[in-house]
Amino acid sequence: MPDHHTIREHRHLRFFGTLLHDPNLWHLNRRSASGAFAVGLFTAFVPVPFQMLLAAAGAIAFRVNLPLSVALVWLTNPLTMAPMFYSTYRLGAWLLGLPPRGEGFHFELSYEWLVTELGAIWEPFLLGCFVAGTVSAVVGYMGIRGLWRLHLVKHYKARKLQRLERIKQRKAEDKIAG
């Protein structure tokens, strides 16, 4: 991860001011990592430009790990954006009980085409984005919390076994010496 001093001084993030000085934004612990996953995954499904700034604002608002929140937004990248957003549109159409558009679909890179098509699909698209973002945020949050807990349980069991081994070794040494 980049140095937090570098991020604080980044020209695009300077408008956050002293909010970036909160140490919770830079530490990795169970709460900050799971919260960062929730913020980053939800923001990845928000169909707006500058998702990274939105994720940074969410991380600051919820006081979770900022670099992790911002990095997770890159799940939506030029390679994954079309399948993700088409899937969210299909999900929204299914939830609303609308037949998905697809027959006779013709893509044209123009402002008129975008306004016309978005005007026809905005409701199922935004509903699908909201539902997919919410579900992925909850799954990400709970998944990281669960994985973190499993790691801690495994770590504590290993420490307990090491402690028992030391006790056995001391008893064996006492028998030999005594």
Instruction: Quick: pLDDT tens for 133-161.
Output: 999 999 999 999 999 999 999 999 999 99
Q: What is the pLDDT of residue 178?
A: 65
Q: Give the other-Cβ count within 10 Å of 56's Cβ.
A: 26
Q: What is the pLDDT of residue 142?
A: 97
Q: What is the pLDDT of residue 36?
A: 96
pLDDT band at 57; cut points 50, 70, 90: very high
- What pTM did the predictor assign? 0.78
Specify the DSSP class assigned to residue 100. P
pLDDT band at 100; cut points 50, 70, 90: confident
> How far is 40 from 66, CA to CA, in rounded Å?
9
Alpha-helical segments (H) within the chain: 4-8, 30-44, 51-62, 66-72, 81-96, 111-177
